[in-house]
Amino acid sequence: MNIPESAPETKPSLLAAILLWAIEIIRELGSWPRTATEAIALVGAGRSQAYETLARIKEFAGELHRQPGRPEAEPAPEATIAVMQRVRDFLLAHPGAAKHAGPRSRYSDTFRRFVLDLASPQGPGHGLTREQFADAVGIPPGTLDDWLREPPPASAPEAPPPPDVPTIRQVHVSVILSEWPNWHGTFLDFCRSLREQHRVPYGATFIGSVLDAAGLRQRRPPRQPEAPWSSGAFRLLFPGFQWIGDGTTLAIRLDDQSYVFNAEGVIDAASNGLVAFDVTDTEDEQAVVEAFQHGVETAGAPPLAVTLDNRPSNLTATVEAAIAPAELLASTPARGQSKAPIEGNFGLFQQTAPPLVVSGANQRELARSILQLVLTTYAWARNGKPRKRLGGRSPRDAYRDDRPTPEQIDEAKEYIIELQRRQELIRRTREARLDPVRLALLDQGLHDLDIPDPDRRTARSLAFFTVDAIIYGLATFAAKREAGTLPDGAEPRSYLGGIIRNRQIQVELELTAKHLLEQRLRLADLTLAPLAGEADRIRETNPAIDVPREFVDQALQAGPLIDFRFWTAAAASSLAQLPQPIAQALFAGLTRRVVASFHTDPQRRADLIDAIAGAVTATA
């Protein structure tokens, strides 16, 4: 076989590889050609094409053996240079916007939004690969991926131009005087509301002086008398007829460590005697059972009925079984008067007891036993104090000496039956008004969270809240449980109810604030005139496609809450006015800007994303 002479730079390994390949071909063909003509004829190729292919093989043979080491870097594309120049100019104009400190780096929210602009379809870095762009802006690829990651998946009216009115200070005074008569909270909360909701930039002293001068509020308002206990909440038939139980939180200081316990107290309504005090970690059904058992030990016999508040842990099957044959009665919801004896004694104890401070190197159980001793001593002391209502006898003597007649016992039993009948009627009426969808949602949610609710008492009590609040509460509880961030000792049903209740309040306040903002804009509120003027300037100096981004940035940088709501509404309105495909294309970039603004309150970021998402949905 005639092989042309190889070029001098051809490596022996390449020649060997060609010969090995030739051997494989000859074996497959079953014949050994002796000349170039025989070789070409053996495979059925054209002579000219065969020699052209051989020339190309020899031409590229040198590239099969590159020199050791990395190849020379390709020159940076023009887009990379443009990005680097923009980053340089930005950092010169914003000192401290980006800083490397050892393994950690710090970036300002403004810098993050600037980088997102560079990577946007209109930015100079849009055509670069992710690695090229990360190298150009000097940000680790992983960090850049977090910034660029796609986020999970009622427009406000424009403010009219501000009219010619008196000075802004006079307007602020007018706002103070008009808002105070409708306010029902504390004075300090009123001042905070003026700053956040009405842009009134004055402190409590100035606001108080305005109200005082107008005769709307005194500097030191007279102390309101305490409301008397309501009559008829319970009956004082005879000792041992009705016990009332409740819990309160007490703290004891041991050296430099404070411990918090629940003190579960039980009092006899007729004799006003404290029959039990039990110290536990939390206010749960076990605390109720232990306190009741201690009361039985103190009194010698159980009562006919026990009244507890509507806390879910109090009204369970376990508690009912533990206090039997005594009947379990629920107190009137949201009325402390129905537990006046025990509530009053808790208040008296906290007024008269000395500071619970213990010195010495002791442990938690020692602190518990000391608190138990203090409470027991207090109960002994008060039970032995004579009472005018008891004819000069002490609660201890009245409970020990009085013996109810059979007629009194029969009357008490009839009263218990009547109370149970009323409670059952209330329960049926309330349940008939409940939404079956919410009940089913709570039944399934409580089951998934392993929160027992055999009699649906918890589901019925929470079904009065909105579906959104219920879903939010169930999801938040599940997330906290999975993350291990549930408070130690938290009673699951009460904690879940607190989350749902707080979410309901938050939603109602947000809706109220939204409607108030819309009405104030319609009325050309002078306090919002600067915001409306700035919004008009942004609309006039920017293309319509850039206006939502400018409004989003304003919302992220807003100070007062009313400013944030104004710019959020403006961003949603401007986005809703764009064609639906354009609005959808802008949404991902706007959401990334919000997510990357780590210095903005998380709740504000969530509200802003929700607002612009609603605007995009509305355009569909």
Looking at residue 388, which CATH number applies to its domain? Answer: 3.30.420.10
The per-residue pLDDT for 76 is 56
Query: ∠ CA(214), CA(212), CA(225), 5° rounding?
Result: 120
Coil, helix or strand at residue 377: helix
Mean pLDDT, range 52-64, rounded to an integer: 71
| pLDDT tens digit sequence for 390-401 | 888 888 788 878
Mean pLDDT, range 576-603, rounded to an integer: 85
Residue 296 phi, psi dihedral angles, 5° rounding = -65, -40
Is residue 514 one of the residues assigned to a domain? no
> Looking at 279-293, 508-522, 580-594, which range is the least confident one?
508-522
Dihedral sign for Cα atoms in the order 479, 480, 484, 485 = positive
Domain boundary among the residues 407, 442, 458 is at 407
Greater pLDDT, 549 or 362: 549
Residues 40, 119, single domain; the answer is no
d(CA 565, CA 197): 9
The per-residue pLDDT for 517 is 63
Residues 401, 438, single domain; the answer is no
The per-residue pLDDT for 551 is 92
Shortest CA distance to 553 belongs to which of 541, 542, 568, 565? 568
Residues 47, 82, single domain; the answer is no
Asked whether 458 and 451 are in contact (CB, 8 A), the reply is yes
The per-residue pLDDT for 1 is 35
Mean pLDDT, range 309-335, rounded to an integer: 77
Question: What number of other Cβ atoms are within 10 A of residue 432's Cβ?
Answer: 7
Residues 264, 316, single domain; the answer is yes
Residue 161 — very low, low, confident or very high, per pLDDT cuts 50/70/90? very low
DSSP symbols for 570-600? HHHHHHHTS-HHHHHHHHHHHHHHHHT-TTS
d(CA 286, CA 289): 5
Sequence-distant (≥ 6) Cβ neighbours of residue 254 within 8 angstroms:
357, 358, 359, 360, 362, 366, 367
Greater pLDDT, 172 or 418: 418
The per-residue pLDDT for 26 is 76
Residue with tokens 């508040």: 309
Determine the structural domain holding residue 316 and report its residue range: 242-407
d(CA 18, CA 597): 61
Residues 395, 277, single domain; the answer is yes
Burial of 92 (0-12, 13-18, 19+ CB in 10 A): exposed
| pLDDT tens digit sequence for 352-362 | 455 555 654 55
Helix (H) or strand (E) segment spanning residue 257: strand 257-268
As a whole-number percent, the residues of the chain with pLDDT over 70 amount to: 77
Is residue 277 one of the residues assigned to a domain? yes
Inform me whether the pLDDT recorded for 370 exceeds 80.
no
Is residue 320 one of the residues assigned to a domain? yes
Residues 355, 477, single domain; the answer is no
Is residue 251 one of the residues assigned to a domain? yes
Is residue 477 one of the residues assigned to a domain? yes
Greater pLDDT, 64 or 258: 258
Is residue 55 one of the residues assigned to a domain? yes
The per-residue pLDDT for 357 is 56
109 to each of 502, 607, 613, how far by Cα in Å?
30, 18, 21
Coil, helix or strand at residue 243: strand
The per-residue pLDDT for 513 is 63
Inform me whether the pLDDT recorded for 114 exceeds 70.
yes
Inform me whether the pLDDT recorded for 463 exceeds 70.
yes
The per-residue pLDDT for 269 is 81
Amino acid identity at 581: P
The per-residue pLDDT for 165 is 41
> Looking at 104-118, 138-152, 601-615, which range is the least confident one?
138-152
d(CA 568, CA 11): 70
Among the residues of 484-560, which ranges form H helices? 492-522, 529-541, 547-557
| pLDDT tens digit sequence for 194-206 | 887 777 888 888 8
Is residue 487 one of the residues assigned to a domain? yes
Is residue 597 one of the residues assigned to a domain? no
Mean pLDDT, range 132-147, rounded to an integer: 81
- What pTM does this model have? 0.36
Mean pLDDT, range 506-527, rounded to an integer: 63
Asked whether 503 and 462 are in contact (CB, 8 A), the reply is no
Residue 350 — very low, low, confident or very high, per pLDDT cuts 50/70/90? low
Residues 84, 50, single domain; the answer is no
Residue 253 phi, psi dihedral angles, 5° rounding = -100, 120
d(CA 536, CA 542): 10
Domain boundary among the residues 113, 148, 183 is at 148
Inform me whether the pLDDT recorded for 111 exceeds 80.
yes
Residues 380, 254, single domain; the answer is yes
Residue 608 phi, psi dihedral angles, 5° rounding = -65, -45
As a whole-number percent, the residues of the chain with pLDDT over 90 amount to: 1
15 to each of 7, 22, 132, 243, 453, how far by Cα in Å?
11, 11, 39, 105, 83
Question: What number of other Cβ atoms are within 10 A of residue 286's Cβ?
Answer: 17
Inform me whether the pLDDT recorded for 4 exceeds 50.
no
The per-residue pLDDT for 325 is 85
Helix (H) or strand (E) segment spanning residue 68: none
Residues 394, 447, single domain; the answer is no
d(CA 99, CA 105): 6
Residue 3 — very low, low, confident or very high, per pLDDT cuts 50/70/90? very low
Residues 252, 386, single domain; the answer is yes
Mean pLDDT, range 535-550, rounded to an integer: 90
Number of domains in the chain: 4
262, two tokens: 């629940």
Residues 268, 383, single domain; the answer is yes
Mean pLDDT, range 363-383, rounded to an integer: 73
The per-residue pLDDT for 335 is 52
Domain boundary among the residues 148, 166, 182 is at 148
Residues 307, 255, single domain; the answer is yes
Residue 526 — very low, low, confident or very high, per pLDDT cuts 50/70/90? low
